[in-house]
Amino acid sequence: MLATKRKEQIRVDEFDLIRSVCKDSFFSFVCEFWDTIITEPFIYNWHIPYICNELQMVAERVFAGKIKEYDLIINVPPGSTKSTIASVMFPAWVWTRMMSAKFIGTSYGANLAEDLSRKNRDIILSDKYKKCWPEIVIREDQNAKSYFLNTKGGFRIAVGTGGITGYHGHFIVVDDPINPKEAASEADLNKANVWMNETLSTRKIDKTITPTILIMQRLHQNDPTANMLDKSVKGRVKHICLPAELSENVKPVGLRSKYVNGLLDMKRLSKDVLSENEKKLGQYGYAGQFGQHPVPPGGGMFKIDRIVYENAPDQDDMRKWIKIVRYWDKAATAGGGMYTVGAKMGQDIKKRFWLLDIRRGQWDSSKREEIIKNTALSDTRKVYIAIEQEPGSGGKESAEATVRELAGWKVTVDIPTGDKTSRADTFSVQVNNGNLRMVPAGWNLEYLDEMKYFPMSKFKDQIDASSGAFSQLTKVKKIAGRLGSNRR
């Protein structure tokens, strides 16, 4: 009997030790409770304790009721245990320190969010967890995989992007808010960003204390990572970026020394694994999901390093030009939304293409028409003008109104077909073959930033207007039953 009691006491002491160590260290908790939900053995890599420590630092301020120093963004590749750490283990550990903590956990789909929540609950219901923290009890009447509540008032609710009403949290964990398959959809990107800005941001028990933790793989120039960085006050977001391969995108920069043979994780994300994923995902998908920079290293659709910067021939001397066109892609929102862009492009007598000027702004319809007219006066009547006609009767009326204001100029209305990417295809061929010259000017940087990310860029107006101008320069017209060039 004494031997049995001694074994029981040793076992009790063991759980007391686990309890003590794990309460003080989230990373220790991850190591200790790994086997409660995962059958494969735990594989150590430096990024795991690093992420655990970053999450713990954020949580410690909540435990102490202190104003948060920042929200947290963590960009890491798939297969790096990010969801296990942030969405499964983290809420279970937080309850060991703050049983009343309320968690809102989100992912791009409700099913995925619920599955992460279920695994979180499985840890709490495990024998080891119960023996270490017997005081943490899930209420029987509130014990669903998408929502469970403990007897101290703490809960975890799981929602897909776009959901959540009536709940407020001490912690908001956003885990992959957009589906990689939908990353190129402007509608889905906008839905996720608006939801995070306008809905999720209001679901905090105390906005000065509750942190938003966004953990995801980069997918688009305008994905929720970019949106959160754009919307944040400087210094109020800490951005951790861990691409699978060593690059200038690693943040903080001090972490670059942690990479071994140029890799984040030689076991989970070996060169063979990365090569296989690059073949499956293609350049764009791999650059975003594994490189954490949603544009291929060599450039996207446009190879911007092949553009030649040079002062153009005299634009007033039409003996040096085949044709010069100003193409307008119109929008009608003042101070926000899409841009109105007028791209001026020419082809010289050596058959070289020139991007001569970009006029760009977020103007209301009245200001827009004024600028189009003043730009035409500045360009002179030697420059052809093309107006893009948007679909529907409103687009037709808008284009016709602009044409009336430009009486005396050579104006055409263009009704484009196909999507923006397909329309840019022939233009990209000339760019990538080194046949585009760009006049050095202040608008160059914004233009190149849009071009290098295209078609995954946040805005596409400048490239769309340029594609339209290029189409007008190269258009072949039928004249009197035969083909004729656009040269006049």
Helices (DSSP H) in 65-109: which residue ranges? 82-83, 90-97
Say yes or no to pLDDT of 3 above 50: no
> From CA 107, how far away is CA 177, in angstroms rounded?
5
Question: What is the chain's length?
Answer: 488
* Alpha-carbon gap, residue 259 to 261, rounded angstroms: 7
**Percent above pLDDT 90 for the chain:** 68
Q: Token match 């679901």: residue?
A: 203
Those residues with Cβ within 8 angstroms of residue 419's Cβ, 6 or more apart along the chain or in another chain: none
Alpha-carbon gap, residue 415 to 110, rounded angstroms: 40
Residue 335: its pLDDT value, please?
65
**Exposed (0-12), middle (13-18) or buried (19+): which is 202, by Cβ within 10 Å?**
exposed
Evaluate whether 2-289 and 304-484 have a shared fold.
Answer: no
Least confident of 193-197, 291-295, 377-381: 291-295
For 434-488, the pLDDT digits (tens) are 999 999 999 999 999 899 888 878 888 999 999 999 999 998 554 333 434 444 3
CATH topology of domain 2-289: Rossmann fold (3.40.50)
**Residues ≥6 apart with Cβ < 8 Å to 118:** 145
Calpha distance 120→87 (Å, rounded):
7
Of 3.30.43.10, 3.30.420.280, 3.40.50.720, 3.90.1150.10, which CATH number belongs to 304-484?
3.30.420.280
Q: What are the domain boundaries of the chain?
A: 2-289, 304-484
Which residues of 118-182 form beta strands (DSSP E)?
A: 138-143, 147-150, 155-160, 171-175
- Residue-wise pLDDT for 199-253, tens only, equals 998 999 999 999 999 999 998 888 999 999 988 877 799 999 999 999 999 999 9
pLDDT, residue 476, reads 58
| Confidence at residue 435, expressed as pLDDT on a 0 to 100 scale | 94
Instruction: At 441, list the tokens.
Output: 């000017």
Question: Percentage of the chain with pLDDT > 70?
Answer: 92
pLDDT-derived band at 303 (thresholds 50, 70, 90) equals confident
Where is pLDDT greater, at 9 or 200? 200
Q: What is the pLDDT of residues 284-301, one digit of tens each?
A: 788 889 999 887 665 678
**CA dist., res. 356 & res. 443, Å (int):** 11
